[in-house]
């Protein structure tokens, strides 16, 4: 089992969800996050005072998949989330030791 | 007796010079139209203080929104009581040596339903003036928001409204020396805006900068809230300025019109200034500019016509923008929400502009300004501005130093980091979810048990 965590542009969420749905992946956790990478921030101005905003809003999508689906899943997310401009985000892949479905008590691949 | 000036002057005459004398036909009588208009105007001025709470509340960080709004609301509670007890009589009681009102109206004795002068009940004039005191004191809180200690603020406003606002209102409106000199202030350029703005600046300097000011971003947390507050202020300002005619007449209508026009011009000119200076027109700039326009037209509202109102508004936008965007950062003081930058600077321009543009053609009870051939009025206006700045600044400094011998003026560094909502008031404006805010620490009656004790009525 593998956890895939993708930090993407907020505007790309729908496309990423569609791409995952096409692979049959329906379960996911989505959070609004802020962060910074290579993308520079932006400037906001309030009554003439400038503020440099370095942490930008992003969306974090977390999905857990069986190991054989990892490559396809990563490919689907990266294609759907790509705009080609700086600030498209990153995908992190983690091995998981176990998954438990709370309702049934199932473990491992059965719970994914 | 259609203007505030004339009404107050007649009030003083009746109170002081001709006590107990009434002639048939000269006795002031209640006019129902005037009374209805001023009651509604007073209610409109009242809504400005909650409007200011929203205006200010949106501009602070979210950890301080409740504490900032609280400062405006506690003013309404405290100052209203003081005004009824002794504030009104200090401001509008019979003149004592041109400096302060006598105690004839202590506890509102003698302030009843009969007209003191003009055509509205005396008690209504008192209530209308009370609303002005509220918004004036509340404006000050904008300079010291996000770090002032609540108890110190309470002590400060109790003393300030007693020893600064009431005497100042007496000087300008209650028969004091500025009124006798001929200084014009239709609805509160000096009494309300210069005094509160200058007081805010001195308080900001004495209390010091917010922790992290200049190094951490302190951006408004909810601009739509600020815009809503500005809308309420704009609406209420019609009562503020038109109501100051104290009668439903042509002068009130003129004041209403120029108030709106100046606000519009102020919003426009601020937006243009920041668009040129920073490249983007902002909604915060638009509402700040219109407030500046309203501030500037306030002293002149009953004395100028439409074109001067446009000029007053067009000048005040860039002027206040320059004050908050350039001067403030150059000098490095932390006037949190720009009470000085908008009310102090805008009010000063408005008072001077009254000396330039006032015309007897608009209000024969007023005076002609410089552009109508009377330089004397401008001198009087400058004296009024200077006296107000000196008096407010000096008194505020002394009051704050006095209070600081008994208590800290600002919260502790830790409390400031946590935010004043939690540290001072134990409240949180934006709890993440109801389920995550914590556990109940006091035993409460179980809902089921409580429901079982209810008596059904069929």
Residues B68-121: tens digit of each pLDDT: 999 999 999 999 999 999 999 999 999 999 999 999 999 999 999 999 888 999
State whether B217 and A47 contact (CB < 8 Å): no
State whether A47 and B338 contact (CB < 8 Å): yes
State whether B278 and A45 contact (CB < 8 Å): yes
Among chain B residues, the shortest Cα distance to A54 is held by B217
Strand order from edge to edge, sheet including A89-95: A29-35, A56-65, A2-8, A89-95
Query: B58, B143, B217: which to substitute to probe chain A, counting the most A Cβ within 10 Å?
Result: B217
Give the torsion through C-alpha atoms of A42, B143, B383, B162, to 10 deg: 160
Q: Would you call B337 exposed, middle or buried from its count of C-beta atoms within 10 A (0-12, 13-18, 19+)?
A: buried
A107: tokens are 């473990």
Sign, Cα dihedral of A49, B230, B157, B11: positive
pLDDT of A110 strictly over 50: yes
What pLDDT does residue B164 have?
98
State whether B274 and A46 contact (CB < 8 Å): no
**Chain A nearest C-alpha distance from B147 (Å):** 20
- Cα(B277)–Cα(B324) distance, rounded to whole angstroms? 13
Picking from A48, A51, A52, the nearest residue to B277 by CB comes out as: A48
Q: pLDDT tens digits, chain B, 458 residues: what are they? A: 455 656 555 555 444 444 333 344 456 799 999 999 999 999 999 999 999 999 999 999 999 999 999 999 999 999 999 999 999 999 999 999 999 999 999 999 999 999 988 899 999 999 999 999 999 999 999 999 999 999 999 999 999 999 999 999 999 999 999 999 999 999 999 999 999 999 999 999 999 999 999 888 899 999 999 999 999 999 999 999 999 999 999 999 999 999 999 999 999 999 999 999 999 999 999 999 999 999 999 999 999 999 999 999 999 999 999 999 999 989 999 999 999 999 999 999 999 999 999 999 999 999 999 999 999 999 999 999 999 999 999 999 999 999 999 999 999 999 999 999 999 999 999 976 565 556 666 665 555 555 555 555 44
B280: tokens are 């983007």
B71: tokens are 């400062």
Distances (CA, A) of B191 to A50, B136, B323: 33, 8, 21
- Cα(B296)–Cα(B270) distance, rounded to whole angstroms? 13
C-beta of residue B414 within 8 angstroms of C-beta of residue B405: no
Residues of B in contact with A47 (CB under 8 A): 284-285, 288, 321, 324-325, 338, 341
- Cα(B93)–Cα(B106) distance, rounded to whole angstroms? 9
Picking from A47, A48, A51, the nearest residue to B217 by CB comes out as: A51
C-beta of residue B120 within 8 angstroms of C-beta of residue B31: yes
pLDDT, chain A, mean: 93
C-beta of residue B53 within 8 angstroms of C-beta of residue B142: no
Residues of B with CB under 8 A from a CB of A: 217, 219-220, 274, 277-278, 280, 282, 284-285, 288, 321, 324-326, 329, 338, 341
C-beta of residue A3 within 8 angstroms of C-beta of residue A64: yes
State whether A48 and B274 contact (CB < 8 Å): yes
Q: Which helix (H) or strand (E) holds A27?
A: none
B11: tokens are 């009030």
State whether B284 and A47 contact (CB < 8 Å): yes
Distances (CA, A) of B415 to A23, B9, B148, B408, B439: 51, 50, 11, 13, 22
Residue that has been written with the tokens 């950062």 in this structure = B329
DSSP B186: S
State whether A49 and B285 contact (CB < 8 Å): no
- Cα(A21)–Cα(B213) distance, rounded to whole angstroms? 48
Residues of A in contact with B61 (CB under 8 A): none
What is the pLDDT confidence band of residue A49, given thresholds at 50, 70 and 90?
confident
What pLDDT does residue B23 have?
42
Coil, helix or strand at residue B160:
helix
Coil, helix or strand at residue B262:
helix
Picking from A47, A51, A52, the nearest residue to B325 by CB comes out as: A47
**Chain A nearest C-alpha distance from B383 (Å):** 31
Distances (CA, A) of A110 to A68, A73, A97, A101, B434: 14, 18, 13, 9, 34
Among chain B residues, the shortest Cα distance to A55 is held by B217
pTM value is 0.86
State whether B325 and A44 contact (CB < 8 Å): no
What pLDDT does residue B16 have?
44
State whether B274 and A53 contact (CB < 8 Å): no
Distances (CA, A) of B117 to B11, B12, B122: 5, 9, 8
Query: Closest Cα to residue B108, out of B132, B125, B96, B131?
Result: B125
State whether A50 and B278 contact (CB < 8 Å): yes
**Chain B nearest C-alpha distance from A41 (Å):** 13
State whether B217 and A53 contact (CB < 8 Å): yes
**Chain B nearest C-alpha distance from A76 (Å):** 33
B417 half-sphere exposure, CB direction, 13 A CA radius: 3
Query: Closest Cα to residue B186, out of B342, B344, B3, B50?
Result: B3
Q: Which residues of B223-241 are buried (b: 16+ CB within 10 A; e: fewer)?
A: bebbbbbbebbbebbbbbb
State whether A48 and B324 contact (CB < 8 Å): yes
């Amino acid at each position: 089992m593998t956890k895939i965590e993708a930090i993407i542009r907020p505007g790309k969420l729908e496309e990423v969800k569609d791409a995952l749905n096409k692979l049959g992946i329906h379960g996911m956790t989505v959070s609004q996050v802020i962060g910074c990478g290579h993308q520079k921030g932006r400037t906001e101005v309030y009554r003439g005072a400038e503020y440099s905003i370095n942490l930008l809003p992003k969306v974090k999508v977390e999905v857990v998949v069986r190991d054989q689906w990892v490559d396809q899943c990563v490919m689907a997310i990266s294609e759907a989330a790509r705009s080609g401009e700086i600030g498209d985000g990153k995908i992190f892949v983690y091995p998981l030791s176990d998954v438990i479905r709370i309702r049934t008590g199932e473990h491992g691949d059965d719970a994914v | 007796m259609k203007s505030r000036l004339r009404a107050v002057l007649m009030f003083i005459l009746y109170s002081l010079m001709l006590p107990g004398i009434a002639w048939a036909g000269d006795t002031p009588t209640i006019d129902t139209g005037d009374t209805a208009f001023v009651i509604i105007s007073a209610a409109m001025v009242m809504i400005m203080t909650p409007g200011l709470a929203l205006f200010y509340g949106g501009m602070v960080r979210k950890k301080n929104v409740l504490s900032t709004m609280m400062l405006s609301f506690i003013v309404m509670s405290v100052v209203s009581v003081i005004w009824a007890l002794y504030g009104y009589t200090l401001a509008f009681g019979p003149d004592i040596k041109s400096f302060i009102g006598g105690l004839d109206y202590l506890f509102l004795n003698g302030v009843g339903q009969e007209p003191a002068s003009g055509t509205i009940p005396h008690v209504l004039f008192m209530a209308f003036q009370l609303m002005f005191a509220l918004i004036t004191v509340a404006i000050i809180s904008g300079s010291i928001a996000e770090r002032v200690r609540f108890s110190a603020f309470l002590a400060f406003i109790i003393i300030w409204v007693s020893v600064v606002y009431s005497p100042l209102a007496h000087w300008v409106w209650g028969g004091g020396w500025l009124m006798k000199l001929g200084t014009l202030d239709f609805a509160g350029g000096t009494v309300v805006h210069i005094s509160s703005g200058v007081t805010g600046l001195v308080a900001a300097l004495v209390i010091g900068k917010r922790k992290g000011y200049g190094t951490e971003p302190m951006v408004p947390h909810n601009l739509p809230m600020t815009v809503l507050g500005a809308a309420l202020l704009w609406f209420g300002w019609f009562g503020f300025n038109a109501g100051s005619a104290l009668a439903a007449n042509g002068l009130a209508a003129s004041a209403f019109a120029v108030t709106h026009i100046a606000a519009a011009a102020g919003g426009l000119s601020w937006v243009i200034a920041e668009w040129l200076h920073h490249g983007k027109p902002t909604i915060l700039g638009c509402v700040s500019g219109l407030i500046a326009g309203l501030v500037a037209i306030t002293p002149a509202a009953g004395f100028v016509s439409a074109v001067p109102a446009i000029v007053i508004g067009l000048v005040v936008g860039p002027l206040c923008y320059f004050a908050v965007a350039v001067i403030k950062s150059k000098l490095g003081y932390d006037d949190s929400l720009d009470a000085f930058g908008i009310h102090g600077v805008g009010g000063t321009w408005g008072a001077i502009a009254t000396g330039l543009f006032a015309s007897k053609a608009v209000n024969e009870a007023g005076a002609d300004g410089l552009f109508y051939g009377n330089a004397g009025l401008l001198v009087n206006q400058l004296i009024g501005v200077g006296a107000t700045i000196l008096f407010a600044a000096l008194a505020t400094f002394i009051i704050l130093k006095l209070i600081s011998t008994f208590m800290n003026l600002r919260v502790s560094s830790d409390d400031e980091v946590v935010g004043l909502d939690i540290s001072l008031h134990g409240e949180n404006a934006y709890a993440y979810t109801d389920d995550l805010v914590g556990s109940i620490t006091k035993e409460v009656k179980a809902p089921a048990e409580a429901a079982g004790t209810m008596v059904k009525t069929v």
